[in-house]
Amino acid sequence: MLEGGRDGVLQLRRLTNGEIAEEWNFVALGGPADRDDLAALGTAEGPVLDVGCGPGRMVRAAAERSSAAMGIDVSPAAVRRARAEGTPALERSIFDRLPLEGRWRTVLLMDGNIGIGGDPRALLLRCHELLAPEGRLVVETDADRDLDERSLFTVVDAAGRESDAFPWARAGWRTVVRAAQDAGFSGAAHVRSGSRHFVTATVPRRLPIRTAAPATTTAAIQSPASTSG
């Protein structure tokens, strides 16, 4: 199992040409949330779901703000690390059945996790399903606003071990805004904090279903006298 280690990194490598697309510092991912993390979290309402939570820094940050929070990650090593810090985390994919479906108030996609599954629109459709009406989505994006890369990648750890190939996406904020709109979110907006870029969006409030009153026919209101003779 790949692990960055406390002093290592995880590298996202393109299968097509072997180039490194991104690097994740395991120390930073496992440390406390920084100023930009907290700015992205904002006044998040709980319960908060952090998708691809890694060692769980954002879950802990939400909990410190008195919000109920949980993380999910497909990496057993990441989930073990999170749990070792006392962080609620499940070893699951976002596409698995999850607790509180349709009742989460905030869903986070930080650290490039808009790439999960290789299809941002499909991922955001799933986030929409998980969120409650008026629930909030927070997505960290690439600094290149129009980036829309979908390809096969591998992850390489500090020991040089390489994962199997998997589909992944990299997306800039304008790409994510469009994907959020296509997925049914409203108010998708770009927010910048320091050198980092985010998109926030909201699930529209569901209007009460109005049923039409049954039509009243003339025959139904006529008295017997009016129809006789």
Token pair, residue 99, equals 């607790």
Give the pLDDT confidence score for residue 225 in this predicted structure: 44
Report pTM.
Answer: 0.86
DSSP code for 146: T
Mean pLDDT within 25-35: 87
Confidence of residue 4 (pLDDT cuts 50, 70, 90): low
Mean pLDDT within 187-216: 81
User: CB count, 10 Å around CB of 217?
Assistant: 8
Token pair, residue 214, equals 């049954």
Chain mean position to CA 30: 19
Residue ranges per domain, the chain?
9-207
Which residue in the block uniquely carries the two structure tokens 């939400």? 62
**Domain 9-207, CATH class in plain words:** alpha beta
CA neighbor of 143 nearest in space, from 174, 179, 114, 108: 174
Q: What is the pLDDT of residues 153-191, one digit of tens each?
A: 999 988 899 999 999 999 999 999 999 999 999 999 999
The burial of 137, by beta-carbon neighbours within 10 Å (0-12 exposed, 13-18 middle, 19 or more buried), is given as buried
Give the pLDDT confidence score for residue 203 in this predicted structure: 98
Mean pLDDT within 49-57: 96
Residue 14 has pLDDT above 80, yes or no: yes
Give the pLDDT confidence score for residue 206 in this predicted structure: 76
In contact, 205 and 184? CB cutoff 8 Å: no
Confidence of residue 121 (pLDDT cuts 50, 70, 90): very high
Mean pLDDT within 113-125: 98
Give the pLDDT confidence score for residue 67 in this predicted structure: 84
